[in-house]
Amino acid sequence: MPLKVAILGFGTVGASAARILAEQKVPGLTLTHVYNRNVARKRVDWLPSVIWTEDLESVLTSDADVIVELMGGLHPAHDCVRRTLQAGKSVVTANKKLIALHGVELESIARHKGGHLLYGAAVAGGIPVIPGLQHGLAGDRVTRMEGILNGTSNFILSRMEKGGEYADELAEAQRRGYAEADPTEDVDGFDARSKLVILARLALGVDVSPEEIACQSIRQVGAIDFAYAKDLNCTIRPVARADLRNGKLVALVAPMLVPFSSPLAWSRGTENMVLMTGQYGGDVVFSGHGAGGNPTAVAVVSDLCALAAGTAPRAGEAVPASVTGEFELRHYVRFVVKDRPGIVAEIAGAMAAQGINIDSLFQRSGFGKDSLPFVVTTEPCVNSRLRLALARMQNTDWQAELPLDLQVLEPEPTIVA
């Protein structure tokens, strides 16, 4: 018998998933219920045989075999998913925040009750990163991953690469519907952090809380930084990165200088990209459109197809791990100063006091003496040491703006124990 499917949430993704099921007539799947608040305004004539309801309880207690949770957020999504799994049924969801925070608990319920919890759409939308991990890379041991996991931030930064400023490109992202009115989750790194937690759990087998991973916003990046980055044969991208070394997870989410030779530098607009490094297979790249109703719906329906075919995977158990962001990388530090003699000497002195060596200094012409931007790059140094050096300079009379510190992406950073 076909699996009976109920969709909770008929927004952009829910409507796209329903349309795919209706138009493709996917074997083994029958859409039976659609739940949404104020459901009358959501009803469509191309789903004539579906039960439309705004009574959530009636769906959870119905004869549906699979609940597709596309409401988002934690409440009531967490309760709905937990109850469904406890009843021995399966759940498909695109809810990254739910899986990042409660995935281990929900996976455990699914294993013990005989259902499945699938969330291929929770990371990178329609790009099959999670199925690729669970099937294509199951025979390898992933040791490192890095990627662009937020299309909004990538859209803003890749447009700034052409000369735009942050505020203008954020407004354009909002105009196009890529960014919310409150863009905090995207531009401050929290969205990418949730996705990184999920990937770390699946790829590296470690369970960590999102709050343990440090995030750096893209808000302070300016067009001038792309000009200086180009001088260093780099661009700037919003990078999420995780390494597993000696049982410790080294992770961060931050805008970083990315060498032009890196595949991450090729990603533009709302594209997502994930690089996985395996002990035996080496590097594997996943790339494509990571956002939007149709790509995300494809991932949702693909999970449903796996359930119908009996090929749905189960995530392995993850173990708790300590998290650190302390590893040695080169740094790019952009100062904006009220020019006077002795500034470079003060910067060098503050860095030397922390054992940090300056590698190079860049200063472009054409700027006034009261707001002069220039860049110092360092040799590889520990993050916390550089923060101490910058804090020592915080109250100087020559700083017109707070300095911008960006790390430079390296293939194998030295991790500090």
pLDDT tens figures, 195-248: 999 999 999 999 999 999 999 999 999 999 999 999 999 999 999 999 988 888
pLDDT for the residue numbered 313 = 87
pLDDT for the residue numbered 276 = 95
DSSP characters over 194-218: HHHHHHIIIII-EE--GGGSEE--S
Q: Which of 289-293, 332-336, 367-371 has the least mean pLDDT? A: 289-293
Average pLDDT over residues 9-35: 96
Q: Which of 104-108, 136-140, 246-250, 338-342 has the least mean pLDDT? A: 246-250
Provide the terminal-to-terminal Cα distance of the chain, rounded to the nearest Å: 55
Contact 202, 274 (CB under 8 A): no
Average pLDDT over residues 285-304: 90
pLDDT in tens, 112-150: 999 999 999 999 887 899 999 998 899 999 999 999 999
Place 56 in a pLDDT band, splitting at 50, 70 and 90.
very high
Task: Give the integer Cα–Cα distance in Å for 331 and 221.
Answer: 14
Average pLDDT over residues 383-411: 94
Average pLDDT over residues 237-264: 93
Task: Give the integer Cα–Cα distance in Å for 388 and 317.
Answer: 39
Residue 290 has pLDDT above 80, yes or no: no
User: Under 8 Å CB-to-CB from 281, ≥6 apart: which residues?
Assistant: 137, 139, 140
pLDDT for the residue numbered 245 = 84
Same fold? 129-289+314-324, 327-415? no
* pTM attached to this predicted model: 0.94
Segment holding 276, helix H or strand E: strand 271-278
Average pLDDT over residues 316-321: 88
pLDDT for the residue numbered 237 = 98
pLDDT for the residue numbered 289 = 79
pLDDT in tens, 58-102: 999 999 999 999 999 999 999 999 999 999 999 999 999 999 999
Residue 13 has pLDDT above 70, yes or no: yes
pLDDT for the residue numbered 414 = 62
Average pLDDT over residues 343-353: 97
Average pLDDT over residues 262-281: 94
Neighbours of 1 (CB within 10 A): 6
Contact 343, 369 (CB under 8 A): no
pLDDT for the residue numbered 314 = 85
pLDDT for the residue numbered 412 = 66
- CATH architecture entry for 129-289+314-324: 2-Layer Sandwich (3.30)
Mean pLDDT, the chain, rounded, equals 94
Fold of 327-415: Alpha-Beta Plaits (3.30.70)
Residue 413 has pLDDT above 80, yes or no: no
- CATH architecture entry for 3-118: 3-Layer(aba) Sandwich (3.40)
Instruction: Write down the domain spans for the chain.
Output: 3-118, 129-289+314-324, 327-415
For residue 221, the one-letter residue type is V
pLDDT for the residue numbered 303 = 97
Catalytic residue list: 195
